[in-house]
């Protein structure tokens, strides 16, 4: 557990972010390796099938991902207030809620997979493979939920290193299994799905063993869970807007996927490959968003509002620098990056155009994501949800539909940066109103008790309010 309420804001955020970023790199490394193996050892239809499946998986689990975020924010605020009794109850309540939710999502995924694929106009040649991949993935959903719930709890307590260790192990095991199942045993796309399920199951079991051997607050038990309805209600109040936001994002992804599907297998395969590269590009911003959420949660719980502002300023500096470097890499090497997945000239051409168009706006995305992360850490998840709805459904989807009829697949890609620009503008304007300060679940202590000595505050970072 890590206390983020004292010390250098920039250094704390960097040290907290780096383990998550490395973990995400390892996780996405598996996705990239898996896509390369599937795209080359099988064919571009298999690569397209994996890409067509992802928005459906994200749609069905996104609501629960939001609830997990709500628990993590509450845990960080309770921990910042040093209320360990409520920390324990929040952890127990999150485990129970996510267990039963995973069972429900598994049943829904198995039942509706084919109908959704058909609704998305999935090309006939990739439909059977996509359906196989989806059904195996949903069968192992309980392990994904279990692992992510434990990681969220640890991050809420300021520990981003332990989830990294499990992520590294899971990634290495996943890559080894996909090589065995796909290239040696020739199980096809089913081998890719089974490799992921098995790796997640092993990582989840190891995480349970770790919890039981470290701290009594974190101990995972079969019996004696403390279910707290009040904490569940607060968590859902914080997390459901993020869950709804994730569902709307997933719905937008499905709408865009349906557009891409209309351009055939080459476009779907290119979209899948470019999406893998794109995920790497935005990882620093996503990791910083989680870090600033925990940082804000703990410092609001401790009543240190000035540190919240300074922390956000430093997070924006870091995300801006990393996003500029990432833009340079994907714009210059886009063609080579796409060709790693599949060498078909049509696939490489479409995918590299995606990276050229979208890659120039990563700094906009990173700034938007970091600001929204700060708002969520304060417990204000409703406004980021509204901003996402407006940017996605008011800008990205309509613009992509309109321009795709005039520019082809390039028109689909242009909808994304335009939506980011609108989202950043709205989020920044709302942050400056200061209304998010009233959303904390934990009442801060009196100012005299909460404030650090003036000389300590001034010694940290001489930056102005954002």
List pLDDT tens digits, range 254-283: 788 889 988 888 898 888 888 888 877 888
Measured distance CA(292)–CA(297) in Å, rounded: 8
| Domain limits, the chain | 9-458
Instruction: Kindly state the tokens that stand for 43.
Output: 């064919």
Write out the two tokens for 377. Answer: 């850490």
Task: Answer with the residue of higher pLDDT: 250 or 341.
Answer: 341
The per-residue pLDDT for 278 is 84
Q: Which residue has the higher pLDDT, 419 or 458?
A: 419
Q: Identify the pLDDT of residue 446.
A: 52
Q: What percent of the chain has pLDDT over 90?
A: 14
What per-residue confidence (pLDDT) applies to 5?
A: 66
Task: Provide the sign of the torsion angle of the four alpha carbons 312, 317, 320, 326, taken in this order.
Answer: negative
Q: What is the mean pLDDT of residues 157-173?
A: 79
Q: In this predicted structure, what is the pLDDT of residue 180?
A: 92
| Statement: residue 421 has pLDDT above 90 | yes
Distance CA 215, CA 226 (A): 17
Quote the pLDDT of residue 27: 66
Q: Helices (H), strands (E): how many in the chain?
A: 17, 0
The DSSP output letter for 183 is: I
Mean pLDDT, rounded, for 314-318: 88
On the question of pLDDT at 77 being above 80, the answer is no
Q: What are phi and psi of 82, to 5 degrees?
A: 60, 30
Q: What percent of the chain has pLDDT over 70?
A: 86
Gap between the Cα atoms of 415 and 396, Å rounded: 4
Terminal-to-terminal C-alpha distance of the chain: 29
How far is Cα 67 from Cα 232, in angstroms, rounded to an integer?
A: 9
pLDDT band per the 50, 70, 90 thresholds, residue 462:
very low
User: Residue 153, Cβ neighbours under 10 Å: how many?
Assistant: 25
CA distance 403 to 411: 4
Residue with tokens 């920039």: 10
The reported pLDDT for the residue numbered 424 is 94
Which whole number is the average pLDDT over 182-198? 89
Place of tokens 């779907």: 268
| pLDDT for res 441 | 55
185 pLDDT higher than 50: yes
Burial 330-348 (b: 16+ CB within 10 A, else e): bbeebeebbbbbbebeebb
Tokens standing for residue 67: 């609830």
pTM here is: 0.64
Residue-level pLDDT at 464: 29
What is the reported pLDDT for 299? 81
Q: How many CA atoms lie within 13 A of 387 on its CB side?
A: 25
Sort 232 into a burial class: Cβ within 10 Å, 0-12 / 13-18 / 19+.
Answer: buried
Q: What sign does the CA torsion over 59, 60, 61, 64 have?
A: positive
Q: Which residues of 399-408 are buried (b: 16+ CB within 10 A; e: fewer)?
A: bbbebbeeee
The predicted structure's pLDDT at residue 80: 74
pLDDT at 459: 31
In the predicted structure, residue 457 carries a pLDDT above the cut 70? no
The Cα 454–Cα 458 span in angstroms is 6
Please, what is the average pLDDT of the chain? 80
pLDDT for position 58:
73
pLDDT of residue 53: 80
Where is mean pLDDT largest: 11-20, 103-112, 210-219?
Answer: 103-112
Q: What is the pLDDT of residue 401?
A: 92
228 in the Ramachandran plot: left (φ > 0), alpha (ψ -120 to 50) or beta? Answer: beta
Q: What is the mean pLDDT of residues 188-192?
A: 88
**Looking at residue 442, what is its pLDDT?**
57
Q: Residue 334 pLDDT more than 70?
A: yes
**Is residue 30 a contact partner of residue 195, using CB atoms and an 8 Å limit?**
no
Dihedral Cα 397, 401, 404, 409, nearest 10 deg? 40
Residue 449 has pLDDT above 70, yes or no: no
- The pLDDT assigned to 444 comes to 53
Residue 2 clears pLDDT 80, i.e. is over it:
no
CB 39 within 8 A of CB 341: yes
Six-digit token string for 333: 């090497």
The C-alpha atoms of residue 250 and residue 155 are separated, in whole angstroms, by: 24
In angstroms, rounded to a whole number, what is the distance separating the alpha carbons of residues 182 and 47?
13
pLDDT computed for residue 440 by the predictor: 60
Alpha-carbon separation of residue 107 from 51, 61, 100, 185, 408 (angstroms):
22, 12, 11, 29, 37
The confidence score (pLDDT) of residue 373 equals 86
Per-residue pLDDT at 445: 54
- Please spell the DSSP secondary structure of 374-396, one letter per residue: HHHHTT--HHHHHHHHHHIIIII
* Average pLDDT estimate for 377-391: 82
Task: Output the pLDDT for position 147.
Answer: 80
Region 402-421: mean pLDDT is 92
Bigger pLDDT: 303 or 172? 172
Instruction: Give the angle subtended at the CA of 271 by the CAs of 266 and 276, to the nearest 5°.
Output: 130
Checking if the pLDDT of 417 tops 90, the result is yes
Write the CB contacts of 448 (distance below 8 Å, at least 6 apart in sequence). none
pLDDT at res. 136: 92
pLDDT tens digits, one per residue of 14-72: 777 777 777 777 766 766 777 778 877 777 788 788 877 877 777 777 666 767 777 87
Residue 386 has pLDDT above 70, yes or no: yes
CA distances to 90, 130, 266, 429 from 331, in Å: 44, 30, 21, 30
pLDDT at 261: 86
For residue 171, pLDDT beyond 90 = no
User: What average pLDDT does range 367-371 have in this prediction?
Assistant: 91
CA distance 187 to 28: 22
């Amino acid at each position: 557990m890590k206390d983020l309420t004292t010390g250098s804001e920039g250094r704390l955020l960097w040290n907290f972010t780096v383990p998550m970023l490395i973990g995400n790199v390892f996780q996405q490394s598996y996705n990239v390796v898996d896509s390369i193996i599937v795209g080359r050892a099988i064919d571009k239809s298999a690569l397209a099938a994996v890409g067509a499946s992802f928005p459906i998986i994200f749609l069905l689990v996104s609501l629960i991902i939001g609830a997990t975020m709500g628990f993590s924010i509450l845990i960080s605020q309770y921990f910042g207030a040093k209320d360990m009794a409520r920390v324990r109850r929040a952890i127990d309540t999150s485990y129970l809620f996510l267990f039963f939710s995973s069972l429900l999502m598994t049943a829904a995924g198995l039942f509706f997979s084919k109908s959704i694929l058909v609704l998305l106009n999935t090309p006939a040649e990739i439909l059977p493979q996509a359906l196989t991949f989806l059904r195996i993935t949903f069968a192992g959903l309980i392990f994904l939920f279990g692992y992510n719930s434990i990681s969220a709890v640890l991050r809420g307590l300021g520990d981003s290193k332990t989830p990294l260790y499990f992520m590294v192990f899971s990634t290495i095991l996943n890559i080894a299994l996909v090589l065995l199942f796909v290239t040696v045993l020739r199980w096809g796309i089913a081998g890719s799905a089974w490799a992921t399920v098995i790796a997640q199951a092993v990582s989840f079991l190891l995480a349970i063993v770790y919890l039981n051997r470290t701290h009594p607050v974190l101990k995972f038990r079969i019996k004696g869970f403390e279910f707290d309805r009040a904490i569940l209600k607060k968590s859902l109040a914080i997390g459901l807007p993020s869950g709804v936001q994730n569902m709307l994002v997933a719905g937008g992804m499905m709408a865009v996927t349906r557009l891409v599907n209309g351009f055939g297998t080459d476009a779907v395969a290119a979209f899948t490959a470019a999406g893998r590269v794109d995920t790497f590009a935005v990882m620093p911003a996503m990791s910083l968003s989680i870090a600033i959420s925990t940082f804000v949660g703990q410092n609001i719980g401790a009543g240190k509002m000035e540190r919240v502002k300074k922390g956000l300023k430093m997070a924006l500096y870091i995300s801006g620098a990393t996003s500029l470097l990432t833009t340079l890499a994907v714009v210059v090497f886009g063609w080579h990056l796409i060709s790693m997945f599949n060498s078909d000239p049509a696939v490489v051409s479409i995918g590299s155009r995606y990276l050229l168009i979208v890659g120039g706006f990563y700094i906009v995305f990173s700034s938007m994501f970091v600001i929204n992360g700060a708002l969520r850490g304060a417990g204000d998840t409703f406004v980021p949800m509204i901003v996402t709805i407006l940017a996605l459904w008011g800008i990205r989807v309509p613009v992509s539909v309109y321009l795709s009829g005039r520019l082809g697949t390039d028109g689909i890609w242009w909808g994304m940066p335009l939506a980011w620009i609108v989202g950043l503008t709205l989020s920044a304007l709302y942050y400056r109103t200061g209304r998010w300060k009233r959303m904390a679940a934990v009442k801060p202590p009196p100012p005299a008790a909460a404030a650090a000595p003036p000389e300590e505050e001034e010694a940290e970072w001489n930056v102005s309010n954002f």
